[in-house]
Amino acid sequence: MRVGFVGLGAVGGKLAGTLLRNGVELAVHDLDPAAVAGFVAQGARDGGDPAALMAACDIVVTCLPSPAACAAVATAMLPAMGPGKIWMEMSTTDAAEVQRLGALVAATGAALAECPVSGGCHRADTGNISIFVGGDRATFDTAFPLLSLMGRRILHAGPLGSASTLKVMTNYLATANLLTCCEALVTMKAAGLDLATTYEAIRISSGTSFVHETESQMILNGCRDINFTMDLVKKDIGLFQTIAERNGVPLEISPLMVAIFEDGIARYGARAQSDRIIERLEQATGLSILAPGFPAEMVDDEPEERGYEVVPSRG
């Protein structure tokens, strides 16, 4: 199976690296020539451009930063699509846009599978990330051998649009977790509690979360680099807010979260790391939320294993 990969950024580069490490014949493309050169040095082929990749490959995987980037790449690839070809779109994007693109792809005889990921860059690097898949069952089954290399837990969410909807929801929850962790850490510091003790109290309690056990460590270390920027957070929680509005759900917390990240972007810049959102509270209180002994980067200590399908319980 000939596989192409477009988008070698923070997440895409790690997913593509997992495919290459597992012996997949891989051709790559990225707007950054240095990223492509790095993969070529490891044995990948320079795919030239998205259209050339689609023409030469059976499956093309994309992992891109925005719906606009996805649409641009799709436009380039569409003329080269046809029966037997699959486009695996792994970006976090809007469900309606996925469905629009899916109709264009289907008209060529090719198939689209939306495959957004969740779990952080450190898990993408080891093939242990979770993957939601939207699309028909036959396409899911064809793509599964690649999915099971890139991810540990793979959920067939349903038709096109379902995976993107679920992914945006999980990013909304992760952002809510991040903001409450920030408030908790600052409040405990103000109350005179030791921050390392606070971290452990949360970790062993009902208040813990994946976000706390990863991002709180990056906050306390001071690096505040989780490989996810404020503009991407704002995009994702904005997409969730749009879903709620589209379905008549009057959310209360979500608009506040959007406003907080709009303020963070105004203060620190769109490409600032999302964990820097705690600096709003540090500046407001004059407190420093730092503690020794926490790592400067997250490393996945779960052994790399072939992925499996997660099947929802139906009672």
Is the pLDDT assigned to residue 299 strictly greater than 90? no
pLDDT category at 200 given cuts 50, 70, 90 is very high
Is the pLDDT assigned to residue 245 strictly greater than 90? yes
Residues 6+ apart with CB under 8 A from 156: 133, 137, 140, 309
Q: Given this model, what pLDDT does residue 116 score? A: 96
Residues 6+ apart with CB under 8 A from 20: 26, 39, 42, 43, 44
Kindly compute the dihedral angle of the four CA atoms of residues 57, 61, 63, 67, in this order, to the nearest 10 degrees.
90
**Local structure of 86: helix, strand or coil:** strand
Is the pLDDT assigned to residue 65 strictly greater than 90? no
Q: Are 230 and 272 in contact (CB under 8 A)?
A: yes
Question: Which among 61, 52, 217, 200 is positioned nearest to 124, based on CA atoms?
Answer: 61
For 267, counting Cβ atoms within 10 Å of its Cβ (0-12 exposed, 13-18 middle, 19+ buried), the class is: middle
| Mean pLDDT, residues 145-153 | 97
Average pLDDT of the chain is 96
Q: Which domains does the chain have, with CATH numbers?
A: 3-160+303-310 (3.40.50.720), 166-285 (1.10.1040.10)
| Strand 117-118 to 45-46 pairing | unpaired
Q: Given this model, what pLDDT does residue 298 score? A: 86
**pTM for this one?**
0.93
Helix (H) and strand (E) counts in the chain:
13, 10
Question: Which among 137, 132, 151, 147 is positioned nearest to 59, based on CA atoms?
Answer: 147
Give the percent of the chain with pLDDT over 90: 90
